[in-house]
Amino acid sequence: MVAAKVGDMIEFLGDLAAWFASSWDGDTGYLMRIWEHVTVSGAALLAAVAVALPLGAWFGHTGRGGMLVTSMVNVGRALPSFGIVALALPITIRLADALPVIDSGLGFLPTFVALFALAAPPVFINTHAGIRGVDPDTVEAARGMGIDGRRVLTTIELPMAAAVIMYGIRVTAVQIVATAPLGALVAYGGLGRFIIDGFAVRDSVQIAAGAILVALLAVATDIGFSRLERRVVPKGITPTRKGGNIAGDVMVDPARAQWSRAVKPIHREE
């Protein structure tokens, strides 16, 4: 019986290898699916950073938006990403009905909208937290030297908050790559196609292959962004961080945020 199990396993691995050797080419091959996956993820991340980073920096700099951040953290945690992807569909379909410019409310658009909605809050939250976490004495000193508000933000606060901001972007990027497979449910391509279609026809080989590719892409994203993080963050002010991957919202949790002298904990009122 054990021998039969092992035999099945070897056969399955053989099928999997055969799948990887044969299914890479063409419009439905995995190279194309990886490309679709990366484009929608990249577009959503870029849009989220373009919108949320300046907003987070500005709100952090002026000290406003504390309530907004708190409610975003709470709602963001409770909202299931599956729900966000699903909710994007009725919205984009209505958009496509209303605006003739958009030719389809299916596929790329709902996936992009959902991933953007998923990505913007954590980028905003971490940028805000990073800027608020900069030692007030340093900011005070800069102001005392006659540096104006905008330059305080760009030359003092942003570089000192870079580690927190970049960490937020990294975690967000991984989360986007991990959620993009759900785009297959709203008629997009991407690597989710293999998993969702595999589920539908109960094709274990295709399901496993899709899972492997998604996991590899997520890990590659994590590694890529941590390299970028190291390049972007100025050498002298890298905060010591205990442990590696935790969810983006965890790091904002003041009980968990452990920064060195350069970046102090977020909660000050106690």
Partner 1 sequence: MIARPFIDWGWIVDHLDEIRDRIGEHLALTAIALGIGLIIALVLALAGLRVPRALPPITWTAGVLYTIPSLALFAFLVPITGFTTLTAEIGLVSYTLLILIRSIVTGIQGIDPAVTEAARGMGYSPRRMLWEIELPLALPVIVAGVRLAAVTTVGLVTVTALIGLGGVGFFILRGLNRFFDTEIVLGTALSVMLAMILDAALVGIERVLTPWSRRRSAT
| Binding range to partner 1, per CB under 8 A, among 28-36, 39-47, 157-165, 196-204 | 196-204
Binding-site member from 39, 42, 47, 81 for partner 1 (CB under 8 A): 81
C-beta of 12 vs 24, nearer to partner 1: 12
Neighbours of 34 (CB within 10 A): 18
Tell me: does residue 90 bind partner 1 (CB under 8 A): yes
In terms of CB distance, is 102 or 215 closer to partner 1?
Answer: 215
Give the nearer residue to partner 1 in terms of CB position, either 37 or 61: 37
| DSSP-assigned beta bridge partners for residue 134 | 263
State how far the Cα of 239 lies from the Cα of 132, in Å rounded to an integer: 15
Which class for 161: exposed (0-12), middle (13-18), buried (19 or more C-beta within 10 A)?
A: buried
State the Cα–Cα distance between residues 183 and 251, nearest whole angstrom: 27
**Of 113, 112, 130, 212, which Cα lies nearest the Cα of 171?**
130
Q: Binding-site residue total for partner 1 (CB under 8 A)?
A: 54
Q: What is the DSSP annotation of 19-71?
A: HHHHSSSSTTSHHHHHHHHHHHHHHHHHHHHHHHHHHHHHHHHHT--HHHHHH
Q: How wide is the angle at C-alpha 130 spanned by C-alphas 127 and 133, nearest 5°?
A: 145
Find, among 197, 191, 184, the residue nearest to 213 by Cα.
Answer: 191
Regarding 153 and contact with partner 1 (CB under 8 A), the answer is no
Q: Is residue 111 a contact point for partner 1 (CB under 8 A)?
A: no
For residues 157 and 139, is the Cβ–Cβ distance under 8 A? Answer: yes
Q: Does 24 bind partner 1 (CB under 8 A)?
A: no
Of 222 and 229, the one with the shorter C-beta distance to partner 1 is 222
User: Which position among 64, 143, 151, 256 is part of the footprint of partner 1 (CB under 8 A)?
Assistant: 256
* Burial class of residue 47, CB neighbours in 10 A (0-12, 13-18, 19+): middle
Build a one-symbol-per-residue string for 161-180: x at contacts with partner 1 by CB under 8 A, - elsewhere.
-------------x--xxx-
Among 37-45, 51-59, 80-88, 122-130, which window interacts with partner 1 (CB under 8 A)? 80-88
Work out the end-to-end distance of the chain between its first and last CA atoms, rounded to an integer number of angstroms. Answer: 64
From candidates 47, 222, 229, 232, binder to partner 1 by CB under 8 A: 222
Select 245 or 260, whichever has its Cβ closest to partner 1: 245
Q: What is d(CA 221, CA 208) in angstroms, rounded to the nearest whole number?
A: 20
Member of 51, 55, 68, 185 binding partner 1 (CB under 8 A): 185
Q: Which of 45, 48, 49, 196 binds partner 1 (CB under 8 A)?
A: 196
Does position 232 interact with partner 1 (CB under 8 A)? The reply is no
Instruction: Tell me which residues touch partner 1 (CB under 8 A).
Output: 12, 74-75, 77-84, 86-87, 89-90, 93-94, 97, 174, 177-179, 181-182, 185-186, 192, 195-196, 198-199, 204-205, 207-208, 210-212, 214-215, 218-219, 222, 243-247, 250, 253-256, 270
